[in-house]
Amino acid sequence: MYKRILLAYDGSDAGQKALLDCREVAQWSGAELFLVAVMPSAMSFVGLEGGVYDVELEERERAKYQAILQDGLRRLEQTGHPARGEVVTGEAVEEITRYARKVEANLIIVGHKHLDSWAARWWRGSISGALIEHSPCSVLAVITS
C-alpha cells in the first residue's frame, strides 16, 4: 500500500492530469502527499553567448516554479488533500529521485505526454522513462495525448 506519494509537478496538462490521479490514489490508500517542482540549474539559463550568469533571470525562474508548486498545493488543498512541497534545482530525474528518498516515498507520480515525431522523442528524452530506471520506488506515469 502506498503511504507516501510524491508528485513531480510542472503545471502542464500532463502534470495536472497526474495531480488528479494523485488525489485519487491518495484517497484510496490514505497516503501522505508531497509535490516537487524541479527548476533547471542556473547553467541551463546560460545562452550560446557564453557564461554570463543572470541573477535576475534565476530569480524570475524561481518565482515561476514557486508559483507552479503553490498552484498544485492549492488545488490539492481545495479537494481536501493537504500536501507539502518544495522547489528544487537541478536535473529533473536526479532531483525527483533525491526528493523521493528524502521523503521516503513509496510511489512517484509523473505526467507524460506522448510526442508525435520520433525526432521530438529522441531530442527531448523521457523523464518518466528515466525515472523508472533510477527511482527508489514505484513510478506511475499518467499518460495524456
What grid cell was written down for 94?
536526479
- Of 26-30, 52-56, 77-81, 109-113, which gets the smallest average pLDDT? 52-56
pTM of the model: 0.82
pLDDT of residue 95: 96
**Does residue 122 surpass a pLDDT of 50?**
no
**CATH number of the domain within which 21 lies:** 3.40.50.620
Q: Which range of residues forms the domain containing residue 102?
A: 4-144
**Does residue 17 surpass a pLDDT of 80?**
yes
Domain count for the chain, please give it.
Answer: 1
Q: Concatenated DSSP letters for 95-134?
A: HHHHHHHHTT-SEEEEEEE--SSHHHHHHH--HHHHHHHH
pLDDT band at 132, cuts 50/70/90?
confident
